[in-house]
């Protein structure tokens, strides 16, 4: 009896779960029919995505760049209810305020599409509905996403644009991507290994927004030459400087906080530091 009872419970449970799964399968097939009917009505032959969505490139740019992990992406979009055409959300193209994301850390609505889309292309994406309802988007209602503009910027692109925007002349470019920009020459020799350098600095994102620094304070930051207490790019920049020297260093995230970032700096973020060597001990 115990075995029979267990089998009954297991079969009953499996039956209930099967009903739920069957409902999802039915809805998924209905969504697929709706989505393909939409594209057929537009005389478009869409490509399928792994998540059940379909997309069609409405403006092609074969020479455009494909994004890779860590690139900065700027997207103008419009979300709408496929059934009613009701616009649910959109970016403001009039003020050029695109949606920003970093490839690899972004909104799942875009991630699968942007693996296939090239910079400068436009596309229509339709994704299946889910069991969750949203305002003006009932459960299991497909959503249409129009990509109206798409810009890809690598970290190197952002660094070059930052340097140009600020009118800097690069003193030295390293193969690892670090740029050294001398603003004011120093005196004496470059400090030897083990020396302690006291510096004033301001750390900035490439938007020019400051995130850290002590320029306005009376204290200084002590950095040991040859040490590892700071991120590599910051350390390498300081080790190029003499007493009294002032410089800007700009480097990619591989020399900074990497793919994970920290509490205040997102992953894949290139950084800039203005540094002044106040004292060498």
Q: What is the pLDDT of residues 122-150, one digit of tens each?
A: 999 999 988 888 899 999 999 999 999 99
For the record, the structure tokens of 86 come out as 């009701």
Environment class of 68 (CB within 10 Å of its CB; exposed 0-12, middle 13-18, buried 19+): exposed
Q: What is the structure's pLDDT at 181?
A: 98
Environment class of 9 (CB within 10 Å of its CB; exposed 0-12, middle 13-18, buried 19+): exposed
Environment class of 188 (CB within 10 Å of its CB; exposed 0-12, middle 13-18, buried 19+): exposed
- Residue 87 phi/psi, 5° resolution? -75, 125
Pick from 104, 119, 110, 150: which is nearest to 269 by CA? 104
Q: What is the structure's pLDDT at 19?
A: 52
**Residue for token digits 């403001």?**
92
241 pLDDT above the threshold of 80? yes
The Cα 101–Cα 74 span in angstroms is: 7
The Cα 176–Cα 253 span in angstroms is: 11
Q: What is the structure's pLDDT at 233?
A: 96
- 91-121 pLDDT, tens digit per residue, is 998 898 999 988 877 677 777 788 889 999 9
The Cα 37–Cα 12 span in angstroms is: 37
Pick from 210, 227, 226, 197: which is nearest to 273 by CA? 210
Return mean pLDDT, the chain: 89
Return the biggest CA–CA distance within the chain: 93
Across the range 212-240, mean pLDDT stands at 93
Q: What is the structure's pLDDT at 21?
A: 57
Across the range 148-168, mean pLDDT stands at 96
For the record, the structure tokens of 87 come out as 């616009």
Alpha-helical regions (H) of 188-260: 232-238
**Residue for token digits 């979300």?**
79
86 pLDDT above the threshold of 70? yes
Q: What is the structure's pLDDT at 106?
A: 65
Q: What is the DSSP letter of 255?
A: G
**Residue for token digits 């850390």?**
105
Q: What is the structure's pLDDT at 12?
A: 38
- Cβ neighbours for 11, distance < 8 A, ≥ 6 positions apart: none
The Cα 204–Cα 166 span in angstroms is: 13
CA triple 172-175-178, angle to 5 deg: 55
Alpha-carbon dihedral sign for residues 70, 163, 244, 177: positive
The Cα 21–Cα 140 span in angstroms is: 14
């Amino acid at each position: 009896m115990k075995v029979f009872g267990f089998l009954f419970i297991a079969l009953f449970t499996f039956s209930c779960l099967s009903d739920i799964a069957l409902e999802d399968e039915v809805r998924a097939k209905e969504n697929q029919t709706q989505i393909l009917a939409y594209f057929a009505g537009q005389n478009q032959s869409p490509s399928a995505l792994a998540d059940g969505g379909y997309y069609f490139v409405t403006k092609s740019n074969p020479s455009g760049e494909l994004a890779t992990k860590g690139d900065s992406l700027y997207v103008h979009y419009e979300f709408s209810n496929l059934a009613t055409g009701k616009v649910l959300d959109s970016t403001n193209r009039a003020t050029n305020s695109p949606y920003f994301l970093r490839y690899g850390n972004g909104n799942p609505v875009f991630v699968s599409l942007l693996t296939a889309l090239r910079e400068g292309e436009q596309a229509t994406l339709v994704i299946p509905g889910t069991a969750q309802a949203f305002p003006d988007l009932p459960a299991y209602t497909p959503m249409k996403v129009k990509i109206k503009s798409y810009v890809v910027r690598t970290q190197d692109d952002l660094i070059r644009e930052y340097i140009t925007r600020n009118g800097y002349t690069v003193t030295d470019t390293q193969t690892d991507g670090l740029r050294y920009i001398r603003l004011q020459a120093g005196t004496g020799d470059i400090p030897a290994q083990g020396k302690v350098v006291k510096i004033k600095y301001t750390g900035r994102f490439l938007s020019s927004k400051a995130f850290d620094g002590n320029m306005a304070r009376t204290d200084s930051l002590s950095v040991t030459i040859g040490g590892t207490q700071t991120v590599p790019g910051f350390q390498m920049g300081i080790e190029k400087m003499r007493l009294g020297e002032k410089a800007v260093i700009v480097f990619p995230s591989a020399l900074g906080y990497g793919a994970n970032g920290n509490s205040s700096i997102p992953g894949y973020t290139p950084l800039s530091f203005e540094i002044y060597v106040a004292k060498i001990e």
